């Protein structure tokens, strides 16, 4: 069967919900029905209390994607398929809930939703069956005794009363009404917790609350075992019902699990919280916090007229102000000046009601706003506009936004003043609707910008240069500066070509960036950058590259100040150079005997996927190899054809480098004399590469190991790391094939043995000569590690009894050097020392017993629970008095979760233009910007936020909003050393040394690159020498495909220094699985621990928050733990702090589920 929509038509309801019809004389049942069929259906007018077409459209976006645009089409689909398929069609009616709450109905109709719907309409409501998350008829009757008396407690009568009278009268019907959270009667913050279940059997839960004052609110859901989404809905039309058209925050796309909403300056009014889930039933705890907005408690500084405006000064860099409009501050004025003709971009963020935004010029100088003084502007839509005000972004509105043809809206929240002449101007922000908080941002871009230039509407826009070939040679002129720090242009190549890009006509340093859309997703990521800015950029600059077929983006980025530029692009040649390498081992290009440096350039693609090179080593040597200047994703492997069959067998790959995207590949290995092969392999996208290799003879390691139990090298008592190097050689007839080492345990111990850095196959065994006969019997071999090829070997033994033990290193195939590490604990190649335990570390730091358990925070704070931070806070240690330097992209120090925890240089007097403390930096009262060499380290890049996210993880304020940092009372020293596309060594080096010299206790480095940079390494050592804890992200290259994923990508620098100084950090997920992207600890013992690094919630620019992932997010957890330790015991030295972090880390319960994916970007 199918549902007949005509039978659902309710003339009385149609008239009630469409009062304009009565005025037009449409007031009888017949006239109302004919209007519905002829006009109302197409117009989407509500016609039944059981059906809401707007809900059907919003909850089933696949229908529009499949061509069902009109309301008639959607109605027909709902009639024929929608109810049967279990699609959501109403906020009020929930058929899944009806079936789950009424099992007799479910059984009687075999789960048929159409029959269940008929039963609900005809009998279910009258019988008082539960059918809605919003409507509880028992509750309605209990709260409205006059209704109960009038209808004699009849449920159908009560339902009709609510539909036609009660809702309009404002009667209470909703059981989950939390009441008024803020206002005159609620001067203290409100913190509520609600517990329930959501999932397929009960898809939506709703909670209602009211705000009587401008408020800051935080809504979080915790304790989930399945995904759940939060949505905040504002009851704009005050009908006491969560209509879709009043949906305030559909926070992200429907398929993402949103667990937190944090908003500042929310308007007074009535709101609904929706908790929804569909993947599986899950319990949840809903935490709601609300307080009168801090914006009302802070002085504004802005006046209510041009004459009293807050002067922001000369518009050189972006100006950002947080403020509020309400009846007490109905309008705010801000003054700024321009000294050149400019396009001025003015944006309001965080607005949740209509607001007036105008640009004014006080031409008569009377300090008042006169009618003729409003400057003409155009709306600058940051997102699609609901032109027809139906509460939905229809396809036509979405495409209007894409092509820039948005119609006018009364109160745009972003405007552009084009070709603004030099002078003095004012921005007026005025209240139109309810009170609201906002963040005002003003940017100036010198004008005019040529029409053919880059697109500046939002940070990921780009101009289009079209298809490049021998005939097409586009040239564009544009400008980069503080208001638009970079321009991008897309171009397409139909065939592999050598392309020349030229940047000319600049009067300030600018950077040239080249990006390849390697994964063909229509955009770009950092891993697709194939040419980063370099020291050579800045003057006229030409870049020639051999590029494969595909889409590319060339970017021009501001480096030092503002500049105009001219960018040209042309194809030099459409012919690939001859292939200089063979396609398999038998055809490998012969490099001969390699002593010193050799280089090669070539090209790989899906049609030519492999390049092989053969070289000879005559001496014991050290090989260093880079694969650089990649224009796509290629990988490199070192191979020895041990069996001489001319094929690459799985156990013949010595080592490989498999970074994702276009990142540099790096191999470093000790080689014995022999013939070796290099394979450069295509992974994704056609592209060229530059192979650089250097091989130099070195002295072989001294052969100190014995060849038998009796002659085994004595390592003594194993009470710390021990490292040995050796060389096993020979064949079946003889040689030095077996090395033995002896060690003692004085007490029961955990022991880890690692063997790595081989160029051929060697194995290890752990032996105990129990009968003391000096021979190794099979039953005396406690453990063996015998992976194939040159794969690393690992033996881990827990609670090994006291006694004497032997490690036996044996050659299996081929001569090889090796590195042997013995560690008296559960150090692991994947997770190092394990998951950091802040509570255990701080307890040991103060000589205390274990701290008592505390209730978990849950939800977005899962990472704090995972490392035990709340247990430390409970003891009174919160990082107070500790300074953590964040050397990153800067910090948004105006963010409400960071502003009170910013470090201030108390020896510097702000704004006096004098270096008061003689540290070489003038007015560095809040840190330093080493990129632009000024005293403002704010994170302002339009697509930035990395440093702000890191800072929130370390020291987000414990204010019941957003994010609470690991050390919520530590101070953040903001140092800007990185840009979105910039990571030069000098700003990083300068930032590290500045942090050390100006009192930082801890330095966080969520950054890195392949290959050591001597200057940065020297700066890290400088920090170490001065007792500063340095925490470094290990990198995001993940597992290697070699040997089934048993090889690990090397940690990036400077994290590789953790074998001697500092702390390297990998990432784990909520379930304590190693994050697939993280670079693991590896076989060389070092100060490596893991911390939460996936789905980490923290602060972003413009008072926002979001979930990010990466070892960049794991490292600040460790920086925060270091701050907790130092605050608990400031007398500890650097070595003691690092040892507390590593020795108390928990190696147990962590799982390795990583899957190598070379194509993931």
Residue 902 DSSP class:
B
In the chain, what are the helix, strand and coil shares in percent, each to the nearest 5? 20, 35, 45
Residue 1101 DSSP class:
T
User: Which residue from 835, 790, 831, 780 is spatially nearest to 812, judged by alpha carbons?
Assistant: 790
Which spans in 450-531 are helix H? Answer: none
Output Rg (C-alpha) for the chain, integer angstroms: 34
Structure tokens given for 1042: 């070699």
Which one of the listed residues 161, 895, 946, 1117 is annotated catalytic? 946
Whether residue 1075 contacts residue 1109, with contact meaning beta carbons closer than 8 Å, is answered with yes
| Cα–Cα dist 930/936, whole Å | 9
| Cα–Cα dist 1033/1113, whole Å | 8
The residue assigned the tokens 């590319």 is 552
What is the chain's length?
1161
Which one of the listed residues 276, 791, 796, 1112 is annotated catalytic? 1112
Which one of the listed residues 517, 611, 888, 969 is annotated catalytic? 888
Residue 305 DSSP class:
S
* Burial class for 598, CB neighbours closer than 10 Å (0-12, 13-18, 19+): middle
Which spans in 211-307 are helix H? Answer: 294-297
Whether residue 969 contacts residue 1123, with contact meaning beta carbons closer than 8 Å, is answered with no
Known catalytic residue: 682? no
The residue assigned the tokens 């504002």 is 234
The SS3 of residue 178 is strand
| Cα–Cα dist 1001/995, whole Å | 8
The SS3 of residue 308 is helix
Known catalytic residue: 29? no
Known catalytic residue: 1112? yes
Beta partners for residue 467, in sequence order: 492
Whether residue 913 contacts residue 922, with contact meaning beta carbons closer than 8 Å, is answered with yes
Provide the CA 944 distance to its chain's centre, in angstroms. 11
| Cα–Cα dist 48/1034, whole Å | 59
* Burial class for 875, CB neighbours closer than 10 Å (0-12, 13-18, 19+): middle
Q: How, if at all, do strands 610-617 and 589-593 pair?
A: parallel
Buried b (16+ CB within 10 A) or exposed e, 754-783: bbbbbbbbbbbbbbbbeeeeeebeeebebe
> What residues contact 752, with CB distance under 8 A and at least 6 apart?
794, 795, 796, 797, 821, 822, 823, 825, 826, 827, 828
The SS3 of residue 104 is helix
| Cα–Cα dist 908/927, whole Å | 11
The SS3 of residue 795 is strand
Catalytic residues: 888, 946, 1112
């Amino acid at each position: 069967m199918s549902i007949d929509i005509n039978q659902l038509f309710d003339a009385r309801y149609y008239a009630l919900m469409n009062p304009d019809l009565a005025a037009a004389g449409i007031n009888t049942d017949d006239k109302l029905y004919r209007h519905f069929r002829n006009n109302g259906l197409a117009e989407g007018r509500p016609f039944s209390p059981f059906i809401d077409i707007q809900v059907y459209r919003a909850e089933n976006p696949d229908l529009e994607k499949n061509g069902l645009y009109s309301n008639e089409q959607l109605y027909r689909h709902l009639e024929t398929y929608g109810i049967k398929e279990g699609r959501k069609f109403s906020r009020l009616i929930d058929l899944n809930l009806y079936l789950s709450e009424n099992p007799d109905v479910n059984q009687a109709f075999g789960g048929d939703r159409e029959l269940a719907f008929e039963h609900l309409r005809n009998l279910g409501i009258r019988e008082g069956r539960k059918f809605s998350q919003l409507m509880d008829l028992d509750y309605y009757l209990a709260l409205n005794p006059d209704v109960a008396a009038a209808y004699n407690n009849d449920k159908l009568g009560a339902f009709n009363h609510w539909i036609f009278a009660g809702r309009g009268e404002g009667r209470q019907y909703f059981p989950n009404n939390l009441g008024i959270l803020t206002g005159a009667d609620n001067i203290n913050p409100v913190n509520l917790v609600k517990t329930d279940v959501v999932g397929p059997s009960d898809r939506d839960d709703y909670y209602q609350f009211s705000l009587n004052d401008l408020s800051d609110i935080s809504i979080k859901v915790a304790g989930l075992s399945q995904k759940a989404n939060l949505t905040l809905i504002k009851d704009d039309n005050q009908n006491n019902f969560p209509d879709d058209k009043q949906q305030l925050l559909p926070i992200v796309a429907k398929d993402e699990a949103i667990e937190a909403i944090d908003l500042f300056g929310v308007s007074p009014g009535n709101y609904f919280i929706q908790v929804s889930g569909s993947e599986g039933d899950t319990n949840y705890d809903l935490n709601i916090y609300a307080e009168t907005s801090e914006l009302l408690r802070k002085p504004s500084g802005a006046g209510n007229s041009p004459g009293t405006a807050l002067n922001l000064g000369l518009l050189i860099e972006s100006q950002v102000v947080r403020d509020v409009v309400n009846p007490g501050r109905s309008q705010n004025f801000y003054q700024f000046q321009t000294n050149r003709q400019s396009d001025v971009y003015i944006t309001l963020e965080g607005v949740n009601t209509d607001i007036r935004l105008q640009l004014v010029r006080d031409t008569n100088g009377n300090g008042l706003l006169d009618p003729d003084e409003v400057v003409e502007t155009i709306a600058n839509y940051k997102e699609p506009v609901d032109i027809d005000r139906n509460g939905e972004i229809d396809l036509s509105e979405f495409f209007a936004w894409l092509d820039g043809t948005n119609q006018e809206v009364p109160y745009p929240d972003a405007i552009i003043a084009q070709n603004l002449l030099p002078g003095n101007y004012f921005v007026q922000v005025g209240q139109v609707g309810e009170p609201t908080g906002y963040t005002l941002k003003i940017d100036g871009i010198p004008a005019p910008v040529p029409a053919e230039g880059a697109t500046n509407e939002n940070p990921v826009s780009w101009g289009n240069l079209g298809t490049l070939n021998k005939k097409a040679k586009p040239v564009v002129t544009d400008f980069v500066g503080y208001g638009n720090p970079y321009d991008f242009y897309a171009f397409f190549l139909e065939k592999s070509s050598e392309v020349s890009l030229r940047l000319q006509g600049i009067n300030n340093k600018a950077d040239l960036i080249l990006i390849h859309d390697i994964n063909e997703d229509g955009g770009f990521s950092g891993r697709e950058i194939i040419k980063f800015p370099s020291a050579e950029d800045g003057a006229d600059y030409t870049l020639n590259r051999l590029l494969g077929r595909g889409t590319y983006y060339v970017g021009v980025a501001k480096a030092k100040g503002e500049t105009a530029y001219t960018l040209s692009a042309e194809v030099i040649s459409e012919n690939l150079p001859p292939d200089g390498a063979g396609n398999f081992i038998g055809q490998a290009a012969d490099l001969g005997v390699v002593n010193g440096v050799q280089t090669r350039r070539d090209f790989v693609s899906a049609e030519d996927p492999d390049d092989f090179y053969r070289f000879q080593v005559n001496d014991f040597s050290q090989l260093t190899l880079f694969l650089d200047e990649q224009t796509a994703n290629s990988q490199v492997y070192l191979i020895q054809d041990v069996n001489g069959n001319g094929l690459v067998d799985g156990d013949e790959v010595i080592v490989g480098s498999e970074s994702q995207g276009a990142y540099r590949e790096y191999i470093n290995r000790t080689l014995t004399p022999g013939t070796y092969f290099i394979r450069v392999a295509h992974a994704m996208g056609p592209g060229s590469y530059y192979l650089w290799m250097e091989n130099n003879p070195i002295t072989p390691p001294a052969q100190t190991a014995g060849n038998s139990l009796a002659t085994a090298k004595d390592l003594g008592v194993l009470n710390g790391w021990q490292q040995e190097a050796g060389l096993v050689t020979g064949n079946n007839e003889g040689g030095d094939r077996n090395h033995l080492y002896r060690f003692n345990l004085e007490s029961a111990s955990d022991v880890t043995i690692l063997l790595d850095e081989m160029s051929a196959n060697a194995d290890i065994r752990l032996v105990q000569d129990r009968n003391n006969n000096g021979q190794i019997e099979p039953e005396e071999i406690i453990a063996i590690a015998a992976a194939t090829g040159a794969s690393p070997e690992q033996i881990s033994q827990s609670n090994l009894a006291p006694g004497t033990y032997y490690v036996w290193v044996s050659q299996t195939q081929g001569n090889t050097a090796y590195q042997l590490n013995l560690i008296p604990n559960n150090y692991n190649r994947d997770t190092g020392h394990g998951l950091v335990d802040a509570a255990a570390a701080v307890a040991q730091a103060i000589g205390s017993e274990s701290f008592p358990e505390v209730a978990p925070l849950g939800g977005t704070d899962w990472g704090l629970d995972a490392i035990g931070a709340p247990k430390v806070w409970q003891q009174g240690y919160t990082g107070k008095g500790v300074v953590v330097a964040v050397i990153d992209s800067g910090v948004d120090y105006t963010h409400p979760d960071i502003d009170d925890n910013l470090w201030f240089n108390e020896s510097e007097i702000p704004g006096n233009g004098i270096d008061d403390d003689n540290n070489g930096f003038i007015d560095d009262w809040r840190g330093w910007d080493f990129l632009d060499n000024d005293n403002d380290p704010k994170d302002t890049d339009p697509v930035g936020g990395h440093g702000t996210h890191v800072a929130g993880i370390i020291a987000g304020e414990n204010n019941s909003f957003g994010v609470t940092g690991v050390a919520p009372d530590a101070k953040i020293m903001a140092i800007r050393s990185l840009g979105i596309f910039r990571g030069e060594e000098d700003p990083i080096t300068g930032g590290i040394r500045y942090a050390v010299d100006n009192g930082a206790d801890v330095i966080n480095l969520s950054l890195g690159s392949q290959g050591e940079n001597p200057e940065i390494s020297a700066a890290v050592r400088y920090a170490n020498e001065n007792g500063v804890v340095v925490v470094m992200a290990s990198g995001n290259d993940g597992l290697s495909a070699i040997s089934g994923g048993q090889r690990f990508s090397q940690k990036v620098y400077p994290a590789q220094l953790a074998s001697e100084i500092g702390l390297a950090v990998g990432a784990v997920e909520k379930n304590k699985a190693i994050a697939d992207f993280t670079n693991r600890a590896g076989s060389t013992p070092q100060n490596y621990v893991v911390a939460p690094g996936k789905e980490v919630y923290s602060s972003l620019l413009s008072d926002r928050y979001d979930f990010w992932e990466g070892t960049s997010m794991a490292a600040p957890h460790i920086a925060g733990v270091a701050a907790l330790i130092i605050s608990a015991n400031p007398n500890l030295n650097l070595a003691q702090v690092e040892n507390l972090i590593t020795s108390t880390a928990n190696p147990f319960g962590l799982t390795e589920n990583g899957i190598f994916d070379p194509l993931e970007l």
